[in-house]
Amino acid sequence: MGGYFSFGDFNTEDFLVDGVRLKVGAPNVYNAAAQNVEAYNIPGRIGEYLPEDADVNYPNEIREYIVGLFMRNRTPEQVEAALADLRSYLMPYANRYDTLADSYEPNYKRRAYFTGDFVPERLGAGNNYQIPIRFSCDPRRFIYPEVIEEIPAGTDSVEIVNPTNYPAHPLLTVTGCGAAFTLSFVRNASVVGSIQFSSFPNTLDIAFDCETTNAIRLTAGRPSANNLITAVNGKPEIRGTTTIRKTNSDAAVVVAPQFWTR
């Protein structure tokens, strides 16, 4: 046991109680993610037809870490306090998605939530424990570090190449320009998706998630900005080589592609 994981604001490397640190074993390894996909039967054709743009969803997988807490020569009260501290760090994330990363796959991050299971297992007669910590993970592994693309004010477009075989649904940070405008996703000279923004000033930034089609204001409290989105058409996603264009060059857009693999 010598690795670590980080989840939300919690990092096992930062856990220190009475001079004792956590030891994190390598997580379980699961196979390529299962997928649920809508396929079609075509009369006169053998087998099923799977359209290129078919909607696919991937059931969550459990990722388990065995965490060691070795408290030799500590009192039972110190042991109980350490276990309570660890539990208190994790429980706020029960059934709440956040970012999971670890030292065993440093080039990927995951979206996950803590399952809420916390059952310490005592090892022998001493004050040594192991605790299975389980996360329910979106089986997509998001490539890290991520290359950020920009369409600054004064420019009209950016071309992005997706290095994977899977459609990426980017996170957009958009700065207004005082006029309505549209972002279009263009592939093979055809518009495959678009987002229409109403007028908002260049003093306001909003974040738009192309997967959930949800927008928030990047201000205190992060209130909803869905009233600033007038329409979402098609699939605003990045497959292969995709160009993102804006109809008003005064607006500014930062694109976090969120490339992923399985």
pLDDT digits (tens, 9 = 90+) for 158-216: 999 999 999 999 999 999 999 999 999 999 999 999 999 999 999 999 999 999 999 99
Q: Using CA atoms in the order 51, 55, 59, 61, what is the torsion angle rounded to 10 degrees?
A: 80
C-alpha dist (Å) from residue 164 to 108, 194, 240: 14, 22, 8
Residue indicated by tokens 């976090």: 256
| Residue 131: pLDDT over 90 | yes
Would you identify the CATH topology of the domain 5-143? Answer: Elongation Factor Tu (Ef-tu); domain 3 (2.40.30)
Whether residue 118 contacts residue 65, with contact meaning beta carbons closer than 8 Å, is answered with no
| Residue 1: pLDDT over 70 | no
Question: What pLDDT is recorded for position 19?
Answer: 79
The dihedral of CA 200, 203, 204, 207: what is its sign?
positive
Question: What pLDDT is recorded for position 127?
Answer: 84
Question: What pLDDT is recorded for position 16?
Answer: 85
Mean local confidence (pLDDT), 222-226 = 95
Cα(120)–Cα(22) distance, integer angstroms: 13
Parts of the chain belonging to CATH 2.40.30.200: 5-143
What is this structure's pTM?
0.79
Question: What pLDDT is recorded for position 193?
Answer: 97
Parts of the chain belonging to CATH 2.60.120.860: 149-261
Cα(162)–Cα(153) distance, integer angstroms: 24
CATH number of the domain at 149-261, out of 3.40.50.12590, 1.10.357.10, 1.10.260.30, 2.60.120.860?
2.60.120.860
Question: What pLDDT is recorded for position 71?
Answer: 85
Question: What pLDDT is recorded for position 18?
Answer: 77
pLDDT digits (tens, 9 = 90+) for 101-129: 999 999 999 999 999 999 999 888 778 89
Q: Which residues lie across from 67 on neighbouring strands?
A: 24, 131
pLDDT digits (tens, 9 = 90+) for 90-100: 999 998 999 99
pLDDT digits (tens, 9 = 90+) for 10-65: 999 999 887 788 999 989 865 555 555 555 555 655 555 555 555 556 789 999 99
Q: Which of 99, 68, 100 shows the shortest CA–CA distance to 86?
A: 68
Q: Which amino acid does the sequence have at 97?
A: Y
Q: Which of 203, 193, 201 shows the shortest CA–CA distance to 248?
A: 201
| Residue 82: pLDDT over 70 | yes
SS (H, E, C) the chain: CCECEEECCEEHHHCEECCEEEEECCCCCCCCCCCEECCEECCCCCCEECCCCCCEECCCEEEEEEEEEECCCCCHHHHHHHHHHHHHHHHHHECCCEEEEECCCCCEEEEEEECCCCCCEECCCCCEEEEEEEEEECCCEEECCCCCEEECCCCCEEEEECCCCCCECCEEEEECCCCCEEEEEEECCEEEEEEEECCCCCCCEEEEECCCCEEEECCCCCCECHHHEEEEEECCCECCEEEEEECCCCCEEEEECCCEEC
pLDDT digits (tens, 9 = 90+) for 137-158: 998 999 999 889 999 999 999 9
